[in-house]
Structure 1
Amino acid sequence: MKQAIVARADIGMGEGKLAAQVAHASLSAYEKADSQLQSQWKQGGQKKVVLKGESERQLHELSEIADSKGIPNALIRDAGHTQLEPGTVTALAVGPAADDRVDSVTGDLSLF
């Protein structure tokens, strides 16, 4: 079991902003998972990987793929209080789900 968080590398988020957006994505996708997936992931150590995203379009496409496979996912839009314009898509979390299911969506991406 794991979760992959794809954070946009093309919008120049500072380290703190990046960390916050990754955290938002992780929790939001976890909340969309059913109780069985939540339990399995928590018992397995809540494995996560953070990957580089290239664009807003890419994150939308990955979200659509995850949706089509029935994998919980969450697309995050920034509120715009600090570094970014309101509504900027910053991150996408895919999972928790079985490693191979998450990899079927995000397996071609590089680590952040």
Structure 2
Amino acid sequence: MDEFLKSRAMMTPGVAGGVTTMITGTLVSQFGLPGNWTGLVISLLLGLAVLADKSVSVYQRIVYYIINSLTIYAVAIGINTAGMAIQYSNEPGSDPAIIEREVPPDTGRFFQEWFRN
């Protein structure tokens, strides 16, 4: 567990990306918040955990914070996109090989298009 919270651990951003997807998906589906900005803010908040690691210099912590926060956000986007592809591929008449399609507006589903205009 001690290594899990270190700034150099790569498992931490992956798990935090999953947590970001859960929190963002819930906020977007329940309150209609914009997914892209909500996910970014949550990623930045979860990335703050890296600043607690006193074993590296302040400069390195800031660099790790930026890299980890962007990694968390990228993982969250990937999980959401994969969830959308699976979710919409189960619809009658849909082709699971085609991921790019017109996404119906707010359907009350957990996985939603975060970058909808």
Normalization by structure 1: what TM-score?
0.29
The structure with the greater share of residues assigned to strand is 1
Higher relative contact order (CA 8 A, sep 6+): 1
Q: Which has the higher helix share?
A: 2
Larger radius of gyration: 2
Q: Calculate the TM-score normalised by the size of structure 2.
A: 0.28
